[in-house]
Structure 1
Amino acid sequence: MRKLLLVPLLAVLPILSFAKGPDCDSWPMNISEGWLKNAGIVDIINLDESKTKSTLLASEKKAKGLYTQIYHFIFYDTTGNTYEIITNSDASYEECSMSGVDIYLISKSHINK
């Protein structure tokens, strides 16, 4: 039930994202890959980076050029499994890593072969 409520919210968030801010998806993406490895979910070497999808869901301007950004990532491994992650971090035009990255694994799908 909770996931059903999350889907419409995630669909509407890009529309509400007026303050785009800096293009900083690489910082939370790299941290997420490391988190997936450290959590024992998937090794980075098994991820197919060419298939990784990144979507900026929201960007809120804070004081003095600082933005809070929420990204949705879909990682694919070499066997076709997917890992969906939502991240929350602060960024500026000068530096993408203005804060740590909060990482939420929202979906893990395995293909049975």
Structure 2
Amino acid sequence: MKCALPVLLLFLPALCLAQGRPNPPCDRWPTNIAENSLRDTGMLGNIDYTKTQAVQLASEKIGKYEDGEQLWREVYHITFHEKNGNKIKVITVNDAGEFECLISSVEVFVVSRHLLPGVENDRMFKQIE
């Protein structure tokens, strides 16, 4: 029993390996769609584009497209910074091909508040912010 924990810890890195798309992530497509959606609803004003951030949260194989191309479901956390200091945060979900970002429409979810008590010092959440 004493050896079980060290053995489990040795296998932990193998469990954390996520298989992402072989090509660079397509963060511009969901960012542009989210920006247009927010503008259409009047939720977004004057953006400081130099501060806009898109962090990929997940990328998962979901099957094959009609032509045999591998399909991926991608999830992004996007933060828009307005010039007046406001931040608008969204989560986007879309399907992307192995070589094409524009496979499906983009679902946009506005994040109104993060409830993260006690994780302010967590490295993962600091990277997203």
TMscore range, shorter length: 0.7 to 0.9
Whole-angstrom CA distance in 2 between matches of 1:17 and 1:36: 34
Instruction: State the match for 2:96 in structure 1.
Output: 91
Instruction: State the match for 2:80 in structure 1.
Output: 75
Q: Which portions of structure 1, spanning 4 or more consecutive aligned residues, are displaced by more than 4 angstroms?
A: none
For 2:47, the aligned partner's letter is L
Instruction: State the match for 2:54 in structure 1.
Output: 54
Structure 1: runs of 5+ lacking an equivalent: 1-14, 109-113
For 2:79, the aligned partner's letter is I
Tell me if 1:107 matches 2:109: no
Aligned-residue offset at 1:42: 1.4
Q: Which has the higher helix share?
A: 1
TM-superposition CA deviations, 1:51-81 (whole Å, max 9, x none)? 0111110111122311000000011011110
Whole-angstrom CA distance in 1 between matches of 2:96 and 2:38: 22
Larger radius of gyration: 2
Q: Would you say how many aligned residue pairs link Structure 1 and Structure 2? A: 92
Q: 1:17 to 1:48 in 2, by over 3 A?
A: farther
TM-superposition CA deviations, 1:76-112 (whole Å, max 9, x none)? 011110000000000013210100000000027xxxx
Supply the RMSD in Å over aligned alpha carbons. Answer: 1.8
Structure with more relative contact order (C-alpha pairs < 8 Å, separation 6 or more)? 1
TM-score normalised per structure 2: 0.66
Task: Give secondary structure in 1 for the equivalent of 2:20.
Answer: coil
TM-score normalised per structure 1: 0.75
Structure 2: runs of 5+ lacking an equivalent: 1-14, 65-69, 114-129
